Amino acid sequence: MNIKLSDFDAILFDLDGTIYWGTELIPGANDTIAFFRNNGKKVFFTTNNSTKRREQIYEKLNKMGVDAQYDEVLTSGYVAADYAKRNNMKDIHIFGSADLIHEFKDMGVDVNQEEDAENLLIGYDPGMTYEDLVKAVRVAMNCKTIMACNREKIFAGQGAKPFPGCGAMTAPVEWCSGRTADIIIGKPNTMLVDFLKSAYGIEPSRALVIGDTYESDVAMAKNAGCLSICISPNEYDDTVNVRAIKDIPGLFA
């Protein structure tokens, strides 16, 4: 499978495991971003991580020296809040981080952290407690709609080590309540790509997704009709594969 620069107009970079590992910038990330910018491509940063607000991810990127603009940053939490607002969803219990709750309130979405909430959103939260899980399960048993930021099992965090993802929050709520999330916002669903098309006119067929996880990044690209490059030591027959982000410009030499 060959990809040419003329095949696409926009790059959708994953963040965790692609641009950085925790607080560590991955070697070659900035050079790769600059390569695409210098070739006239639009750049976006997309992540399943819902622990931080869009603004915080933007600030993190800039502090790490990454050339990023605020409007180029897209998180599953922000897209979830946008989806809830556009669909007039109210009375939402958020099983997630304080910053995810803040994101929803900033968007003017009605949040209810009690057990009688009509809807539930599940987001990634490494600081969750058993009490938080109890509330989420009770809401899930009786609410109208369950949304999840994603079901990602593992992401590459600090030191490139694997950490449990949002799936560690989504799975127990689904299992204990006997229900399955009605709406999945993040990868491998296509809502991040759909948002970019709606907000910025990015056609999926003219977008290139670059990520480190086949099950989320590449699967989203396939589901949306995007091209993709997977940064992984594993070989896949149906996608372009490299071992490091710094190797990507070499594909177009």
pLDDT confidence band for 156 (50 / 70 / 90) = confident
**One domain for residues 22 and 144:** no
**One domain for residues 171 and 192:** no
With respect to residue 106, please indicate whether it lies within any of the assigned structural domains.
yes
pLDDT digits (tens, 9 = 90+) for 34-91: 999 999 999 999 999 999 999 999 999 999 999 999 999 999 999 999 999 999 999 9
Cα 117 to Cα 142: distance, rounded to the nearest angstrom: 9
With respect to residue 66, please indicate whether it lies within any of the assigned structural domains.
yes
**One domain for residues 116 and 171:** yes
Lowest mean pLDDT among 17-21, 66-70, 153-157, 223-227: 153-157
User: How many folded domains does the chain comprise?
Assistant: 2
In this predicted structure, the answer to whether residue 237 has a pLDDT above a threshold of 90 is no
**One domain for residues 22 and 48:** yes
Provide mean pLDDT across the span 143-164. 90
**One domain for residues 221 and 175:** no
What is the CATH classification number for the domain harbouring 72?
3.40.50.1000
**One domain for residues 101 and 161:** yes
pLDDT digits (tens, 9 = 90+) for 157-190: 888 888 999 999 999 999 999 999 999 999 999 9
**One domain for residues 103 and 162:** yes
With respect to residue 171, please indicate whether it lies within any of the assigned structural domains.
yes
**One domain for residues 96 and 172:** yes
**One domain for residues 71 and 192:** yes
Cis peptide before 188 (omega within 30 of 0): yes
With respect to residue 84, please indicate whether it lies within any of the assigned structural domains.
no
Of 163, 184, 205, the one marking the end of a domain is 184
**One domain for residues 96 and 177:** yes
Cα 235 to Cα 37: distance, rounded to the nearest angstrom: 28
pLDDT of residue 233: 84
SS3 per-residue string spanning 148-206: ECCCCCEEECHHHCEEECCHHHHHHHHHHHCCCCCEECCCCCCHHHHHHHHHHCCCHHH
**One domain for residues 118 and 61:** no
Of 157, 184, 211, the one marking the end of a domain is 184
Of 149, 168, 184, the one marking the end of a domain is 184
With respect to residue 87, please indicate whether it lies within any of the assigned structural domains.
no
3-state secondary structure of 236: coil
With respect to residue 240, please indicate whether it lies within any of the assigned structural domains.
yes
Contact predicate 113/93, CB 8 Å? yes
**One domain for residues 161 and 197:** no
- Give pTM, 2 decimals: 0.92
With respect to residue 85, please indicate whether it lies within any of the assigned structural domains.
no
The residue segments making up the domain with residue 180 are 92-184
